[in-house]
Each structure stands twice: as C-alpha cells, then as structure tokens.
C-alpha cells in the first residue's frame, strides 16, 4: 500500500465524520457560498509568470516544512508578490492543514484559491465552496473516470474551476473530459517520491490545447519554468520552495521578478 492509498482510507473516515457533524444545508447557508468565484484558469491564460504558490506546513515526503507562519501573512504576501493563485492544503493528518486555513486565506487575499485536498466525495466540493475556494483539485490516481466526471460536473455547477492532476499517460487518457479547466502533471512518482520534470515534458503533447497545462512538484527554480514553458505549460505549482523560507511572500516576489 502506497502513501496515497493510506491517505484515501483515512480520508473516507474523516469525510464520513464531517458529514455527520455538519449537514449540507449548513454549508449551503455559508456567507461565502454565494460569492462570485475568480477563475484561476483565466488568470493563468493571461499571465506571464503562471505561479500558483502554496501554503503547506508539512508533507509525508518532507515532514515539517514550516510551522511558524500564519496563513493570513502568507496569503497577503503571495497576493502582493503577484501570484496567479494560491493553493491551500486542507488535509490535517498528513499535511497539517485545515479548512480554517482556507477561510483565513480568503479573508486575507483576493487571489483565486485552490482547495488542495484528496477529494473522494461531493461533500468536500460543497465544503470548498462554503469556505471560499475558487478551484478544486481532483487526483486521477484515486478516482475512477465516472467519479472524475461526477465531481468535475458538480464543481462546474457551483462555478468552481477544476484542476485535474495526473502522474502518467494512463491516468491522463481516462481523465480528459469537457468539465475540466486545467490539467496538472505531477512530476513526483508516488511510489518512490522521486521527482522528474521529464514527466511534464512527456505528457505535454498528449494534453489537448483547450485545457490550461499546469506542472506540479519539483519546481524550485526559474530555470525549471523556462524549461517547461516551450512545452505549453502556463501554470506552475510551487509549494516547498517558498514555504521553507521565513517570508514566503517575499520569496515569491523575488522569484517572479527574476522570472520576468
């Protein structure tokens, strides 16, 4: 059993518990449920940097990244830096995140927010909307084609953008459908945790042009982005590179400046 399998088993228990505590009707009555969302896909299409900066305290592969920052400072710092969007990890057990992080980021910034989560139930998509997200992540490795279709169409009805993440050609082929906005290629091998930009390069030609191409994991330098741009990538998800510093917003600002 790999780490993703373990996370999904725990996630099913967690979601069942949350559903028993907070009914759907309560989520739908949230003040943020009615807000107009901001499209990350559109932002990326018109951006010269394409940076999606992440708030991440820890991860299974790196343990602690940074536990000393508050999410409001990170969010406002990223916005000032000029990022296209912000990814907020809301998984508690493995990444030290929470839905509170999402709502605090929303209160502190006006950039598109991606709820970075292991989505296995439409309930989590309603949560994303209720807590101020603009985008959801769907991970092809843990979903069937039918689930990808169901969840992405449900998200579109809530005016949320959908980023679908793949790790290989097989996942990509089962995932392509009109209800997606962005296709993300994760450069990390989930079995070995090794990272290679070659994954993004190899899969780029198989992604139809109507989807915004996003490269994820292992992007820590301006050179890496310049290497991937000729392959049609418009979005670059950067997590640990900014979060491991004392001031992620300032790090993102300098990074974007050197990129442009």
Query: Quick check: is 216 catalytic?
Result: yes
Cα 110–Cα 45–Cα 226 angle in degrees, nearest 5: 105
Q: Which segments of the chain are extended strands (E)?
A: 51-55, 58-59, 63-64, 85-89, 113-116, 135-139, 161-166, 182-186, 212-216, 233-238
Query: Quick check: is 79 catalytic?
Result: no
Of the residues 79, 165, 171, 240, which is catalytic? Answer: 165
Residue 252 makes CB contacts below 8 A (sequence gap 6+) with 51, 53, 77, 78, 81, 82, 83, 238, 242
Per DSSP, what are the bridge partners of residue 161? 135
Q: Which tokens hold the place of 142? A: 């843990």
Query: Quick check: is 6 catalytic?
Result: no
Reduce the DSSP state of residue 125 to 3 states and report it.
helix
Of the residues 200, 217, 241, 251, which is catalytic? Answer: 217
Of the residues 43, 108, 116, 240, which is catalytic? Answer: 116
Query: Quick check: is 87 catalytic?
Result: no
Cα separation, 121 vs 157, in Å, equals 15
Query: Quick check: is 234 catalytic?
Result: no
Of the residues 11, 43, 54, 213, which is catalytic? Answer: 54
Residue 162 in contact with residue 138, Cβ under 8 Å? Answer: yes
Cα 80–Cα 81–Cα 83 angle in degrees, nearest 5: 105
Of the residues 79, 127, 216, 240, which is catalytic? Answer: 216
Q: Known catalytic residues?
A: 54, 56, 116, 165, 186, 216-217
């Amino acid at each position: 059993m790999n780490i993703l399998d373990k996370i999904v088993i725990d996630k099913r228990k967690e979601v069942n518990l949350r559903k028993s505590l907070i009914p759907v009707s309560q989520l739908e009555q949230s003040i943020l449920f009615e807000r107009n969302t901001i499209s990350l896909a559109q932002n990326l299409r018109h951006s010269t940097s394409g940076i999606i900066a992440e708030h991440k305290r820890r991860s299974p592969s790196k343990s602690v990244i940074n536990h000393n920052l508050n999410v409001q400072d990170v969010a406002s710092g990223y916005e000032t830096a000029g990022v296209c969007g912000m990814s907020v990890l809301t998984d508690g057990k493995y990444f030290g995140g929470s839905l509170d992080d999402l709502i605090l980021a929303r209160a502190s910034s006006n950039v598109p927010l991606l709820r970075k989560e292991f989505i296995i139930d439409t309930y989590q998509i309603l949560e994303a909307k209720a807590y101020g997200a603009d985008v959801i992540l769907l991970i092809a490795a843990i979903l069937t084609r039918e689930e990808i279709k169901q969840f992405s169409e449900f998200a579109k009805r809530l005016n949320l953008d959908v980023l679908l993440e793949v790790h290989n050609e097989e996942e990509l082929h089962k995932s392509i459908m009109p209800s997606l906005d962005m296709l993300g290629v994760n450069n990390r091998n989930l079995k070995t945790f090794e990272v290679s930009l070659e994954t993004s390069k190899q899969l780029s030609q198989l992604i139809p042009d109507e989807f915004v191409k996003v490269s994820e994991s292992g992007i820590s330098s301006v050179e890496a982005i310049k290497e991937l741009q000729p392959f049609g990538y418009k979005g670059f998800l950067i997590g640990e590179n900014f979060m491991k510093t004392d001031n992620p917003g300032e790090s993102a600002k300098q990074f974007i400046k050197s990129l442009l």
